[in-house]
Structure formats: structure tokens, C-alpha cells
Chains A and B, each alone.
Chain A
């Protein structure tokens, strides 16, 4: 893992002192709420429906046990005993007091964490594949590059007042687990024929009210040019991105209105000036950052193979959990374990202070001290020996963290919605809870197979509904909550935007509608190996429309 050096420590302390000063000036009235807003946002402080909310960055989703314990401590001391893991590998606290926030930031700085640029119109927390450094299919660990980008983008003097927020994601596998095609910049690490590392560069993906899939503008950007090329993109966007309408201000609109080729040419022209300048990355610097992410020492634990087989035979609950929540590690004696934060009927992404402490202890004991946060609002222990799976499972069970539903219908992503969010049209959490209850039976979930449901409480799409196999969007119609359903979205290497299936459903009818959709799939699929998304891609929306609306089928 990356460790702060003296420079990083001094930087973060100076940043905390700076924010303390800003809060004091705000409280004394020297700064208006209007002018304070971008400043507090750049430190992750939102004003929500009932209180301030603090969003803490978990850069590229990697945490140590010590850091997780601090997150638990903050939940206990400054909040109501829980935190909420978000779809961008951050954690949110919903009830801190503004006056306490500088203290919270100081506590975070003590474990090399911060809330810098977790919101506002600046470059946000850089995200990466949550299985980075453990997955068998990656070209190289993407996190060193995410770390370099994190540093370079911190308090960037030219790019702190962009037209709109800006999100960068990095992946290093063909199988994209970082959803790079729905980011402002998506970077896919790859090797060229000479074995050199570089990036395929995508720009202009995004969700919100105008969802768009990113366009590839470079097939192979050499590693040394990462910062100069990203600077060129940022500069073109800062100068030419629209500022007249906040709904048209993301880079996706600039790409769309300018044309991919033309914009790529502008970026290329800008880059030509920057390429051989100060931003060129020396090999030695990349190597030093990469060293921080060296794989932990994982001794051979071949005994796990036989033990695992025996344990699975003895306990079907354990067997289900292994099938759903454990993925192969690049070391054959190990696995990558997803800890579901989606208990049946629970609030997606919430964890109590006790649960966070427990996960920290388990990571220390079983996963080389490492924890990951996924954009699907779950946690991961990336390096667990197969021989340790059974005791780990028992320990997770005791904390209510052993739900065997990773990737299944109850592994729902939901934004905070009307329960917390000032922008919401409708509730998200209760909808997720009801669907989870309805489909909670383990055998039934497994029968249904891979199915991603994603719920947003308004068109800002924080719940990523556009890329849910089934997406649910809360809208307001004549003062009442209504839910629009989209089908066929996906955020992997075959990214697609879901299509609206028809008119919306009242809150009490949403779960039935989901049930109808699932039944339609189950009765129509060619076999258990045809997943929901594949079935949808084969047959389209027609059978679903028919089942949902009968002969009254028509667009809402």
C-alpha cells in the first residue's frame, strides 16, 4: 500500500489547517454560504436534507486495518455509529457537525486519509478495480497510476474550478470492474507488443440525465506521458466545457457537441506542447510508487484445497458463500473474498462501527492487512488463503456480514435518496429493502443468477441505474413518487445504457414489477447459463413490455 512520506503528511496537515481557517471565516460571516460552498465541497462537506454530510476519500478503494478502525472510530465519535460506503469508493458520514469536521479531518490525517476533492467541480477521488493487485487477469497493478493521478490532481491550481465535477477511473484487466466507460476519463492499462506499459484512453462517459458511453481517443498512451496527456484533456475541457448550463457542463457533452475526432485533435495539439515538458514521468518515480504496491508475501497454503472441498460438503450455506463471494486469486491457494454490505432487507452500503472494527481485525488476521471498497458498495478482503475461508466465514457470520449474494439480485446498489439527499425525488433505500426481502431466499437467488439492480432517487443517477441490468429511477409526478424501470444496462467492458421499458410504477408496485421481469426472464431463458443480461440482449424489451403492460404496452 502507498504510505505517506513527510511531504504528504505536511501537505495534508496544511490542508486541514486551511479548512479550519475557512470554517472559522464561514462561522464569522467573512465568507458567504455561496462562496463557502465550493471550498467545503473540495473538502467533501455537503449540506444534506437534515445535516452536513462528510465524504471521505478511499483512494482507489484500498484501506489498511488501521485506516478501517479510524473510520469506525469516526462513526462512533462524530456520527450515529455507522458509515455509508458509496458507489465511488468513498465513505459518507451523514450526521457530523460542521464545527467538528476539522477535528475529523485531523483524525483522518493521522492514518493518512483525507476528504480532499471528494466533491465539487474538481478532479474527484480516482477509482480503480477493487481486485487490483490480486486478480489473475490484470496486466499490472493499476493503483500506482491512480496514486500518481491522485497526487497530481490534489489542489491543482489550474483545475480546481472546472465547469463540473470530473471523475477518473483506472482498470488493468480486459474484464472491466472499474466501469471506466462511464467516467469522464477511463484508463485501461495495457502492454504493447514490446511489453511496455501504457493506457488506452477513453473520455466522455457519464451518467446523470444524459447518460453516455465513453469514446476511445487513444489506443496506447505510453506510461511516461500519463500526466501530460491528462493535463491536455483537462485544459481543453476547462477552456471549452460549457458553463452556461450545469446539466450540459460535463465533458461528455463537450465530446458530443464537438465530435470525438475534433476534440481528440484539439487534445492532441495541446499535448504536443506539453509532452516533453516537466510532466513527463521518469521511470524511477513510477518504479518507486509501484514498489509501495508490491504484492504481500503469500506463503503456499495448498492444504486449503482439500479442506475447502470438505467444508463445502458439510455446510451448504458455506458452499453458497464460497460460490458467490469468493473469486480466484492469482495465487492458486488464495481467494478474493467479497464481504457483502447487502444483508437481506438491509441498507445497501451501510456498516456499523462494530462491523468496521470486525472487518479490520479479520483483514489483519486473514488478508495481509488489506481491505478494498468496491463501487458496488461492498468490501473485499483481497488475499485470503483457501485454508482460512471457513474460520473467516464463521467470524463474518457472527457480525452479520456473511450474506452470500455477491452479484445476485439482492446485491442492490442504491443511492441515499429521499431519506438523506436534498436533491432526491423519491426514496431509494426502502425500495431496495423491499426487493431484497422479496428475493431473499438463497435458493431462489441462485436460480436467478447474475442480476444487477441499481436504484437512483433522481436523475443525477448516483445509484447508477442507467447501467443496471435492471435500473430503477425515482421520479416525481404530480407530487407523488413514481419509479421508472430501465432494462439492459451494463457497466463492464460491454457497457450499455439501459432502455426505459414503459410508464413508471407507484412505490407499492415496484417490487411486483421486478418480480414480473424476473419471471419473464426465467421462463424465457435458454438455460441456466444464459444470464439475464444475455437474455435481454438476445430478445430485447418486447417480452418484458408484454408481461408488464399487456396490450397497453407503450412508452411512458
Chain B
């Protein structure tokens, strides 16, 4: 089964951080903190559901990418991690959803500030490739992804076009 990396522009070919033959290029949070202290190389860090992403605060500008792990599609902790990274810690770099990424979760992922996903789920990959997302473009709550306010109530947003 082939894995794809996708962002809102479409499928990303030959991505530097793609999983290749089961090998991930991401390091754990502890390793990332160590690497950042010692020097040079580019860091892509994997935040697991039980991790506290606030620990990355001192090294955020050293990170090339943060991957948020969805070990199972129904484990929703990474949604809060993304929200915290964007809204609280002000992280502006790339955030990627990895793991059990399924089509119907992707619109939510984008809204909380995830930019790209990696998925091995064939029907999901197909629909993403066709750029046919199943989301609803009207939102009843603000979120990290920029959206337009409406002229109705303060909490509503409309997807930016």
C-alpha cells in the first residue's frame, strides 16, 4: 500500500519527511530537545498523544516540521496539540498529521492548524488526490486556520476562499 503526503495544494511528491518503507524521519520530543542543544541538523519532531507540546517552546524556531501522531483515528488528542501549538505557542512552521489519518478527519485537522497529512489509507488517498474533501465550509467556532468572520454572531466563521 502506498503512502501519500498531501497538503492543501495537492499531493506532495518526494517529501523530505515522508515515511519511506516504514522508516520515519521524525525524532521523539526528547531527542529533538537534545539535538537542538547540540547543533546543526534539521529537526522534524513527532509529538505523541501523551506528550506535552509546550516542552518544545524553547526550540520552536529550530524545528523544520512538527508531526502530530494519530495512533488511531478516534484518538483526538492531537487536535488539541495543534490548537495549542498554533494559538498558544505561536508556532508558524509546518504541522503534519500522521498515523491513522482518514478522510473525514482531514477537514478538522486543517481547521486546528495542521497543514499536511500523511496517509496510507487508499480511499482517503484517492479522495485527497482528487481534492474532494468532505468538510462543511461554515463553522460555528473560531479555530487556528484563518477563516472569515460573518456578519451574524461573533463565534461564527466562513472558510476563506
Contact = CB atoms under 8 A, between A and B. Distances in A.
Contact of B123 (A25, A154, A157): A25
Contacts of A289: 153
Interface stretch (B5-13, B23-31, B56-64, B137-145): B137-145
B38 interface: no
A534 interface: no
Contacts of A148: 155
A7 B75 CA distance: 30
B80 A18 contact: no
B88 A151 contact: no
Interface string A15-53: 100100110010000110001001100000000000000
Interface in A211-247: 227, 235, 238-239, 243
A7 B140 CA distance: 10
A316 to B, nearest CB: 52
A287 to B, nearest CB: 11
A157 B80 CA distance: 9
A155 B140 contact: yes
A14 B138 CA distance: 8
- Report which residue of A39, A156, A162, A285 has the largest number of chain B beta carbons within 10 angstroms of its beta carbon: A156
Interface in B61-105: 73-77, 79-81, 83, 87-88, 102-105
Contact of B83 (A152, A235, A281): A235
Interface residues of B, number: 38
Nearest to A36: B104
Contact of A21 (B134, B140, B153): B134
Interface residues of A, number: 44
B79 A238 contact: yes
B154 A22 contact: no
A223 to B, nearest CB: 13
Given A22-B104, A39-B104, A7 B142 contact: no
A285 B155 CA distance: 9
B142 A278 contact: yes
A14 B140 contact: no
B108 interface: yes
Given A159-B76, A161-B74, A161-B76, A11 B140 contact: yes
Contacts of B107: 157
A7 B159 CA distance: 12
A194 interface: no
A121 interface: yes
Interface in B98-136: 102-105, 107-109, 111-112, 123, 134-136
13 contacts: A18-B134, A35-B104, A151-B155, A156-B140, A157-B109, A157-B141, A158-B80, A158-B143, A161-B73, A227-B141, A243-B49, A243-B75, A278-B142
Interface of B: 49, 73-77, 79-81, 83, 87-88, 102-105, 107-109, 111-112, 123, 134-143, 150, 152-156
Given A21-B134, A157-B111, 14 more contacts: A14-B137, A39-B104, A121-B74, A148-B155, A157-B139, A158-B79, A158-B80, A158-B83, A161-B75, A235-B83, A239-B80, A239-B81, A279-B142, A281-B155
